[in-house]
């Protein structure tokens, strides 16, 4: 992987919301690695380049709001000639329960506006996704309010557990061993 993108909305009012699960994952990874993302106007986000195990990788948090996430992803990926199959998007997933986390490449976009914009701007859906379960409110009409609000205490703990489980796969992800990362994430223990 050459580009890891955590999706979310910028601003303090969105910081603890379900929709910012991708931002949270990147924040936790930066904390574990002892690094800081810096604002980069030309990439429409905060980012940092890291070196690990002789691998170079970018971490990015678009600051364009969720619906325009593709602008940041394309700006950085085109500048550094990063192919879509070398990109991993970390995002909230309505179709997974809180506490669940799954990794996949390609496939449908599940109505996620951030993914839709990224796929449209890249011209393909053939990129990796680390999907952090946030659950579904039950009614389609309630989704917007649901994702833009913080989860309850129990749900927040489950989402945090999923984030931590995802972080355990980081050494595999940075080495592009996504098959092993999938096996680790998807195997019940």
Catalytic residues: 19
Among positive and negative, which fits the CA dihedral 84, 89, 95, 96?
Answer: positive
Count the Cβ atoms, other than its own, within 10 Å of residue 187.
7
Question: What's the distance, CA 122 to chain centroid?
Answer: 16
Question: Cα separation of 27 and 57, whole Å?
Answer: 15
CA-atom Rg of the chain in angstroms: 15
Phi-psi region of 61 (alpha: psi -120 to 50; beta: other; left: phi over 0): beta
Count the Cβ atoms, other than its own, within 10 Å of residue 19.
22
């Amino acid at each position: 992987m050459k580009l890891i993108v955590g999706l979310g909305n910028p601003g303090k009012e969105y910081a603890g919301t379900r929709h910012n699960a991708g931002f949270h994952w990147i924040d936790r990874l930066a904390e574990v690695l002892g690094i800081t993302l810096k604002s980069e106007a030309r990439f429409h986000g905060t980012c940092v380049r890291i070196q690990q195990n002789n691998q170079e990788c970018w971490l990015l948090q678009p600051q364009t709001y969720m619906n325009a996430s593709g602008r940041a992803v394309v700006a950085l990926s085109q500048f550094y000639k990063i192919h879509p199959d070398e990109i991993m998007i970390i995002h909230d997933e309505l179709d997974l329960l809180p506490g669940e986390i799954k990794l996949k490449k390609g496939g449908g976009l599940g109505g996620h506006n951030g993914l839709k914009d990224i796929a449209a701007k890249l011209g393909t859906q053939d990129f990796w996704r680390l999907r952090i379960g946030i659950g579904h409110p039950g009614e389609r009409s309630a989704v917007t309010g649901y994702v833009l609000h913080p989860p309850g205490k129990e749900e927040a703990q489950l989402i945090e557990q999923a984030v931590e489980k995802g972080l355990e796969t980081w050494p595999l992800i940075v080495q592009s061993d996504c098959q092993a990362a999938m096996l680790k994430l998807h195997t019940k223990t």
